[in-house]
């Protein structure tokens, strides 16, 4: 693996700890972003640890350059930084980073991040993960929820069973179910797929009354 940080003390600490882990070998170091990109392209390690704020080229842009290079598709990048700003996290992940670790975290977590990246997984510091999940949840709440029912509303719900007839059969709305299911199931389907629609906007407004009438008429005939 390759270490890139503008502080020699940080690089030395990383090397001291990581070189003692089974299966991990530090093969190169870099003091700035340009040197990091050059070193990684030359050595082609499995994993590169990059600081964000480095001279000449920051770690986020260096990550983008490394991950966009077709010849380095097997090299994974782990960001290790003091700054846990949301914009840094979002940019790092968007640029292809396979991990985002804070420098003040437990060294064991750094090892786990390196191992995860090496096998194609990703690991993010817990404090950063909590905020990331909250932001994703907020975006999901703001976005309309996709529904499989939308495509069904655009299709014709029925065809006349005979010339001049306008009846809607239960099999058209719910294949395999009898006419007794139309009213309840149709109402539930509309509530889920078209919440807030008025009566005139309701795609099943004609089906409900007819189904109810047919049901009552059938009951009267059976009682005669």
C-alpha 25, offset from chain centre: 32
Q: How many residues does the chain have?
A: 224
Q: What is the pLDDT of residue 180?
A: 42
Rounded to whole angstroms, what are the CA distances from 92 to 45, 58, 114, 210, 212? 19, 11, 16, 58, 58
Integer distance in angstroms from the first to the last C-alpha of the chain? 87
For residue 23, the 8-state DSSP code is T
CA atoms within 13 A on the CB side of 217: 7
Contact criterion met (CB below 8 Å) for 18 and 1: yes
C-alpha 104, offset from chain centre: 27
Class (C level, CATH) for 2-142: alpha beta
For residue 107, the 8-state DSSP code is H
Q: What is the pLDDT of residue 168?
A: 39
Contact criterion met (CB below 8 Å) for 171 and 177: yes
Q: What is the pLDDT of residue 217?
A: 54
What percent of the chain is modeled with pLDDT above 90? 50
CA distance 122 to 114: 9
Q: What six digits make up the tokens of 49?
A: 């640890």
Going residue by residue through the chain, which has 224 residues, state the pLDDT in tens, using 9 for 90 and above.
999 999 999 999 999 999 999 999 999 999 999 999 999 999 999 999 999 999 999 999 999 999 998 889 899 999 999 988 889 999 999 999 999 999 988 899 999 999 999 999 999 998 888 787 787 777 777 766 555 555 555 555 555 555 544 443 333 434 444 434 444 444 544 454 445 544 455 554 444 444 445 545 554 554 44
- 10 Å CB burial of residue 20 (0-12, 13-18, 19+) is exposed
Candidates 98, 116, 97; CA nearest to 108 is 116
Candidates 113, 105, 48; CA nearest to 74 is 48
Q: What is the pLDDT of residue 185?
A: 44
Q: Is 208 helix (H, G, I), strand (E, B) or coil?
A: helix
Tell me the pLDDT tens digit for each residue of 93-152.
Answer: 999 999 999 998 889 999 999 999 999 999 999 888 878 778 777 777 776 655 555 555
CA distance 189 to 196: 13
Q: What is the pLDDT of residue 182?
A: 43
Candidates 69, 123, 126, 77; CA nearest to 97 is 77
Q: Is 13 helix (H, G, I), strand (E, B) or coil?
A: helix
Q: Provide the residue ranges of all domains of the chain, joining segments of one domain with +.
A: 2-142, 149-223
Q: Is 50 helix (H, G, I), strand (E, B) or coil?
A: strand
């Amino acid at each position: 693996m390759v270490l890139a940080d503008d502080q020699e003390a940080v690089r030395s600490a990383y090397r001291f700890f990581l070189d003692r882990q089974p299966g991990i070998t530090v093969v190169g170091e870099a003091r700035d972003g340009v040197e990091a990109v050059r070193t990684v392209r030359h050595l082609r390690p499995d994993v590169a640890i990059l600081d964000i704020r480095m001279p000449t080229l920051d770690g986020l842009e260096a990550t983008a350059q490394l991950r966009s290079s077709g010849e380095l598709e097997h090299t994974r990048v782990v960001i290790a930084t003091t700054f846990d700003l949301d914009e840094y996290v979002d940019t790092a992940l968007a640029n292809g980073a396979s991990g985002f670790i804070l420098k003040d975290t437990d060294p064991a977590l750094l090892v786990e991040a390196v191992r995860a990246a090496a096998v194609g997984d990703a690991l993010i510091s817990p404090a950063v993960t909590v905020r990331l999940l909250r932001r994703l949840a907020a975006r999901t709440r703001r976005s309309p929820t996709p529904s499989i029912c939308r495509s069904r509303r655009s299709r014709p719900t029925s065809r006349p069973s005979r010339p001049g007839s306008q009846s809607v059969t239960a099999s058209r709305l719910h294949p395999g179910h009898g006419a007794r299911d139309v009213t309840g199931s149709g109402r539930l389907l509309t509530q889920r797929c078209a919440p807030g629609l008025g009566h005139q906007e309701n795609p099943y407004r004609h089906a409900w009354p007819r189904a109810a009438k047919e049901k009552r008429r059938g009951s009267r005939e059976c009682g005669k």
